């Protein structure tokens, strides 16, 4: 009986270690390159696309070479807080910036001073997949906070909640080279 209990305990501990290692490996780390795919329930473009030529952000239909702004570098500030730098080929502003005063999103030229919306809290979205996250803007000004892809028209903004009708607030972080 003791042997059977020991083996069960060992199996549970082993499974827990395996799962925690798997989850840790999926958390965005400093220097990782990712693409962010919107999981909204309306058909349309899905990949977060930084448009460095004009400092705007939208959704692209895919991650093909013509959409170089769909690749982002993770800059980790703490366990849950990151900054996201667009790796688009054209020079211009690069930092994902949530503008909580008016609910818009764009690219900022840097992450200091008035660009407090460039800090994002990565929140696990409650799915079994640790790559599914919600991104909460930590800007200093009160207002909506959740990165929201609007797949119907390919735009991106900030939503006041992650609950319906804001289905574009769930994102899949896809590791890229």
Residue 107 pLDDT: 98
Answer yes or no: is pLDDT of 1 > 70. no
Is residue 27 predicted with pLDDT exceeding 60? no
E strand or H helix at 6, and its extent?
helix 2-26
87-129 tens-digit pLDDT: 999 999 999 999 999 999 999 999 999 999 999 999 998 888 9
Mean pLDDT of 149-177: 96
Q: Please, is 149 exposed, middle or buried when counting C-beta atoms within 10 Å of its C-beta (0-12, 13-18, 19+)?
A: buried
Domains of the chain, first to last: 29-175 (2.80.10.50)
Return the pLDDT at 29: 74
Q: Which of 126, 150, 146, 151 is nearest to 135 (CA)?
A: 146
> pLDDT band at residue 3, thresholds of 50, 70 and 90?
low
How far is it, in rounded angstroms, from Cα 90 to Cα 73?
A: 15
CA distances from 67 to 48, 118, 138, 173 (A): 10, 21, 27, 17
CA atoms within 13 Å, Cβ hemisphere of 10: 6
Tell me phi and psi for residue 7, to 5 degrees: -65, -40
The Cα–Cα gap between 125 and 35 comes to 17
Q: What is the pLDDT of residue 28?
A: 67
Bridge-partner residues for 106, per DSSP? 56, 97
Whether residue 167 is predicted with pLDDT greater than 70 in this model: the reply is: yes
Q: What is the mean pLDDT of the chain?
A: 87
pLDDT-derived band at 18, boundaries 50, 70, 90: very low
Task: Give pLDDT tens digits for 131-152.
Answer: 999 999 999 999 999 999 999 9
pTM score, whole prediction = 0.84
Q: What is the pLDDT of residue 13?
A: 36
Number of residues assigned to the chain: 177
């Amino acid at each position: 009986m003791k042997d059977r209990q020991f083996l069960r305990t060992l199996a549970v501990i082993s499974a827990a270690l395996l799962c925690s290692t798997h989850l840790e490996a999926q958390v965005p780390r400093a220097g990782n390159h990712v693409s962010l795919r919107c999981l909204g329930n309306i058909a349309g473009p899905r990949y977060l696309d930084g448009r460095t030529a004009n400092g705007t952000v939208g959704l692209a239909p895919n991650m093909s070479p013509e959409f170089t702004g769909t690749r982002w570098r993770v800059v980790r500030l703490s366990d849950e807080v990151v900054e996201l730098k667009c790796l688009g080929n054209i020079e211009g502003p690069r930092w994902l910036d949530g503008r909580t005063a008016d609910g818009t999103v764009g690219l900022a030229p840097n992450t200091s001073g008035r660009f407090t919306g460039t800090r994002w809290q990565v929140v696990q979205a409650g799915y079994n997949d640790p790559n599914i996250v919600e991104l909460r803007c930590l800007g200093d000004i009160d207002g909506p906070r959740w990165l929201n892809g609007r797949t119907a028209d390919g735009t991106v903004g900030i939503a006041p909640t992650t609950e319906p009708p804001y289905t574009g607030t769930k994102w899949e972080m896809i590791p890229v080279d």
